[in-house]
Chain A
Amino acid sequence: MSRATATDLVYLIAIVGFIFALVGLSSPKHARRGNQLGALGMLLAVAWTFSLPAVYSNTRNLVLIVIAVALGAAIGVPAARLVKMTAMPQMVAIFNGVGGGAAALVSVTEFIALGHGSIAVYKICEILFGVLVGSVSFAGSAVAFAKLQELMTGRPITYPAQQPINAALGLAILVLIVVTIVTANTAVLVVVLLLSLVLGIVFVLPVGGADTPVLISLLNAFTGLAVAASGFTLNSNLLIVAGTLVGASGTLLTRLMSTAMGRSLPNILFSAFGSVITATGGTEADGRSVRSGTPQDIGVLLAYARKVAIVPGYGLAVAQGQHAARELADALEARGVKVFYAIHPVAGRMPGHMNVLLAEANVPYDELEEMDQANGELPTTDVALVVGANDTVNPAAENTPGSPIYGMPIIHANEAANVVVMKRSMRPGFAGIDNELLFDTKTTMLFGDAKDTLVKLVAAVKSA
Chain B
Amino acid sequence: MIASLASPGLMGFITIFVLAAFVGYEVISKVPSILHTPLMSGSNAIHGIILVGTMLVLGQAHGIAQLVLGFLAVVLATLNVVGGFVVTDRMLEMFKAKPQERSATSDTANPPSAPGAQDHRTTK
Write the residues of chain A forming the contact surface with B, with a CB cutoff of 8 angstroms.
Answer: 14, 18-19, 21-23, 25-28, 31-32, 34-36, 38-39, 42, 45-46, 49-50, 52, 54-58, 61-62, 64-65, 67-69, 71-73, 75-77, 79-85, 88-89, 91-92, 94-96, 98-99, 101-103, 105-106, 108-110, 112-113, 120-122, 213, 216-217, 220, 223-224, 227-228, 230-232, 234-253, 256-257, 260, 320, 322-324, 327, 345, 350-353, 355-357, 359-362, 364-366, 370, 451, 455
Q: How far is the CA of A427 from the CA of B75 in the complex (A)?
A: 40
| Size class of the contact patch on chain B | 35 or more
A residues within 8 A CB of B5? 120-122
A residues within 8 A CB of B91? 85, 88, 356
B residues within 8 A CB of A227? 47, 49-50, 53
Write the residues of chain B forming the contact surface with A, with a CB cutoff of 8 angstroms.
Answer: 1, 4-7, 9-10, 13, 16-17, 20-25, 27-63, 65-67, 69-97, 99, 101-102, 106-107, 110, 113-116, 119-120, 123-124
Q: How far is the CA of A236 from the CA of B12 in the complex (A)?
A: 11
B residues within 8 A CB of A451? 119
Q: A9: shortest Cβ distance to chain B, in Å?
A: 15
Query: Once the chains bind, are B40 and A253 in contact (CB under 8 Å)?
Result: yes
Q: Is the interface of A mostly helix, strand, loop or mixed?
A: helix
Q: A409: shortest Cβ distance to chain B, in Å?
A: 11
Q: A167: shortest Cβ distance to chain B, in Å?
A: 29
5 more contacts with CB within 8 A, not counting A19-B27, A26-B31, are A81-B113, A91-B83, A106-B53, A121-B4, A122-B4
Residue of A nearest to B94 (CB): A359
* Residue contacts A-B, CB under 8 angstroms, 9 given: A57-B59, A72-B75, A88-B41, A95-B79, A99-B50, A105-B70, A106-B57, A228-B17, A324-B119
Given contacts A31-B92, A230-B53, A253-B39, contact A235 B47 (CB under 8 A): no
Query: Once the chains bind, are B33 and A105 in contact (CB under 8 Å)?
Result: no
Q: Is the interface of B mostly helix, strand, loop or mixed?
A: helix
Pair count A-B, CB < 8 A: 418
Query: Once the chains bind, are A322 and B116 in contact (CB under 8 Å)?
Result: yes
A residues within 8 A CB of B92? 31-32, 35
Q: A20: shortest Cβ distance to chain B, in Å?
A: 9
Q: A114: shortest Cβ distance to chain B, in Å?
A: 11
Q: How far is the CA of A366 from the CA of B100 in the complex (A)?
A: 10
Query: Once the chains bind, are B114 and A360 in contact (CB under 8 Å)?
Result: yes
